[in-house]
Structure 1
Amino acid sequence: MLTATLSTAACSRSGDNRPPEPGDQAVATVQDETIWASDVKREAVAQGLIGEDETLDATSDLFRRVLDEVIDQKLLAGEAQRRRLDSSPLAQRRLEATRERILGDMLVESVVNKAVSDQAVQTLYNEQLRLAKTSEEIRVRLILSRTKPEADAVIGILGQGAGFEAVAAERSIDEATRFSGGDLGYSTLDVMPQAYADALRDKPAGATVGPFQTEGGWAVLRVEDRRKENPPTLEQARPQIVRYLTYEGVRQLLEQLRGKAKVDVRLPAQTPPASPTTSAPSAPPGA
């Protein structure tokens, strides 16, 4: 919290009283130094109180609370300067570290803003749709019995024309689904128990499957529907795409900077712990 406040205070200092942003509003002065609405919003963002794209109403309680914190910080900083606490070599290094952190953040924001454009998000989304392997979803109903004779009896009752939902409500021992007619909803085979997936793999909609043994008893299933899994919409996928583009933008920037800079790490080489075998971690699927 203190670091965020110091960073904001350092950013808001200026040598004149011109608005730092078009349409900015002066909201207070401390010793003839103006505090702008953008200073207050920046501090609120730094503290995680609002998002970067959110607005902060100057009449809100939150704005007034953060404004008071900015005023207090300016008073503290001014008193520290009056006492010449900023003149020691250690203080200068700490101030320079804060300045470097702010400048680094500004560079990253600039790079990310260019990398995470609407066009870039749309392009990556289209590429994901092109490469995605669409799975099939299956909607299934379940009647679970304790023993095979009980499950065979269920098959007999269904064969006489009884409704699957009614039999599930009357006879299934699966308390989670019996009162919804045994409805398990839509899911893909890869997330089902293996016994269910094996039994359902080639069965069409309307088919009754079983009985077969599972961990919970003996299962009889009915395939209600099969459909192609709907891919996420652009808005559903946007947060993940933005995170990826942000990460890639920063990674590429640092890779370029490290490639051009002379970096000499002066630490003793670490001795890796002894182990029978050492191997690089496996790449994720599709990498």
Structure 2
Amino acid sequence: METPDGKQFDTEKRGSAAAAAAGAVWRPLFAGTVWLARLIWAGVVIVARAIAKFSITTWRVAAALDSALWRAVKLLARQTLAGLAYVGGIALTAFRGLIAWLPTRTGRAYSSLFGAFLMVCGLWMIDLLRSVPSLDAAGASSARAPVDEDDPILARIDGRYVHLSEIEASARAGGFLRPDETLTPGNAFERELVESYVEQRLLARAALDDGLQRSPTVARKVNAARDRVLAAAYMDAQLRDTVTPEAVERLYRSQSDVTRLGDEVRARHILVATGEEAEEVVALLKGGADFSALAKERSLDRATAPLGGEVGWFTRGMMTPVFSNAAFSATPGELAAPFQTEFGWHILEVVDRRATSAVPFSRVRAPIENFLRMRTIESSLRDLEKKSQVVYFRPKEEDETPSAAPPDLSDPPLDDPEFTLPTEKSGEQDGEPDASEETGP
């Protein structure tokens, strides 16, 4: 045979070479198959010989039996041997076919698929064995949960594990935990928080199965709860970034000058009914009369009269303006000019005077933190309303009502009387009477 380029191509030699190559591949495999078949045949021969010996022995033992029984035994033995030979032939044929089929491409593909199938079945069986309830020391069934050191597992619902963090979040949302309280696995079970959470999840899933989430009323409630949770999370993040200990201390230092309460004086007074009587008392005092004795004798203020008219220490803001002006305009040891209030005429003597220090940071920390929180919330809401172009459509009867002025978001004027800070009058909250209540002014 001649090729297109003029060369002679010997097909017989090519065919013989291919046959030789194929023979080189299959000859060892065939030899191994023949060897295995011979081994199997040798085993069959051994079994057959054993059966033959057993049959001969049985035949000798049953020689005295009836001929019909002997024929039945021979027939049974013949059929058994025939069946064994038939099964052996089928097994040998199948084994030869398997040996010849495995090296093919289809055989390799089926072998790989079968191996993957076996692997998946093994993993599935391992998972089933792990999820099977075990028996505790008392013999009761108890499920074994995976160990999670960071977030312990407390329950399982249809194969889904419930962690401690989920129980804690649900309890805080329901108001069952204080903000400063930490939940432990033991407390969660003691307070039945785990059972409550599981029951809530089961009921919620049942509602979803029934399609209640498609109800307009339920959808509005779910959206409202979702918005409430997201709004709280957003404000918590804003406050966490804004109301920091550094910000509180910085605001306190910026207002430290106005947190000083000024001077405070110690004074005593005599309260009389008329101006003439006040002038008479002043004349007696200038003549050398004892102030304490006159106060006990003639003062109408029954709270301070037994004390000799002693009022105690007070700052300018703790008394009425008239009383404070008279007290702070006089020098220690000097009598102030008689003055009148709604309670009568006062003769005031300043005993001592001293300067006060600034309000301690520990006493104004809470008001400053509250102010920063309110300012952060108000500013965040105003910014969001401005970005979203919010428009309110109020009823007509409310349109005529003047709108309230926007809140003042500047730093709090700590010297403003309207901004409440703990002062010397904090004793009133502790049950201690204030000097101004004793004197009346």
Residues 37 and 58, structure 1, Cα contact 8 Å, conserved in 2: no
| C-alpha RMSD of matched pairs (Å) | 4.1
The structure richer in strand per residue is: 1
TM-score for both structures, normalised by structure 2? 0.48
- Deviation of residue 67 (structure 1)? 3.4
Residue number among 199, 202, 205 corresponding to 1:78 in the alignment: 202
| Structure 2 CA distance for aligned equivalents of residues 24 and 56 of structure 1 | 13
Q: 1:81 to 1:207 in 2, by over 3 A?
A: same
Unaligned runs of 5+ in 2: 1-144, 417-441
Which structure's residues are more often helix, by fraction?
Answer: 2
Partner of 1:43: 171
Whole-Å separation in 2 of the counterparts to 1:272 and 1:130: 44
**The residue matched to 1:208 in structure 2 has which SS?**
coil
Aligned-partner residue type, residue 181 of structure 2: T
1:121 to partner: Cα distance = 0.7
Higher relative contact order (CA 8 A, sep 6+): 1
**Aligned length, in residue pairs:** 262
What secondary structure, in the 3-state scheme, does the structure 2 residue paired with 1:176 have? coil
Q: Distance in 2 between matches of 1:216 and 1:131?
A: 32
AA matched with 1:221: L
Secondary structure, counterpart of 1:224 in structure 2? strand
- Judge conservation of contact 1:43–1:70 (CA < 8 Å) in 2: no
Structure 1 residue 67 and structure 2 residue 191: aligned? yes
Instruction: Give 1:20-169 correspondences, 5 Å limit.
Output: 29=155, 31=157, 34=162, 36=164, 39-40=167-168, 43=171, 47=175, 50=178, 52=179, 54-56=180-182, 67-68=191-192, 71-72=195-196, 74-83=198-207, 84=210, 85-130=212-257, 135-159=262-286, 161-169=288-296
Partners of 1:258 and 1:180 in 2: CA distance:
61
1:244 aligns with 2:371: yes
User: Tell me, what secondary structure is at the counterpart of 1:47?
Assistant: coil
Provide closer, same or farther for how the CA distance between residues 219 and 231 of structure 1 changes in structure 2, counting only shifts above 3 A: same
Normalising by structure 1, we get a TM-score of 0.69
Query: Residue 174 of structure 1: CA displacement?
Result: 0.6
User: Which has the higher Rg, Structure 1 or Structure 2?
Assistant: 2
**Aligned partner letter, 1:81:** R
SS of residue paired to 1:92: helix
Please give the alpha-carbon distance, in whole angstroms, between the structure 1 residues aligned to 2:189 and 2:307. 51
**Preserved CA contact (<8 Å) 1:24 1:38:** no
- CA deviation map 1:204-224 (0-9, x unaligned): 122122433332222111112
Percent identity between the aligned chains?
26
For residue 209 of structure 1, give the secondary structure of its aligned residue in structure 2. Answer: coil
Question: 1:207 & 1:23 partners in 2: Cα distance?
Answer: 73
Q: Deviations over 1:209-265 (max 9, x none)?
A: 243333222211111233344332111111111111112222332333333335455
Task: Call closer, same or farther: CA 1:77–1:92 in 2, change over 3 Å.
Answer: farther
Change beyond 3 A, Cα 1:102–1:66: farther
In structure 1, runs of 5+ residues without a counterpart are 1-15
- Measured after TM superposition, the shift of residue 141 of structure 1 is 1.4
Cα deviations by residue, 1:45-96 (Å, 9 ceiling, x for unpaired): 863873x3x2357699xx6799336743652452243143444232123112
Distance 1:39-1:241 versus aligned 2 partners, 3 A rule: farther
Q: Which residue of 2 aligns with 1:235?
A: 362
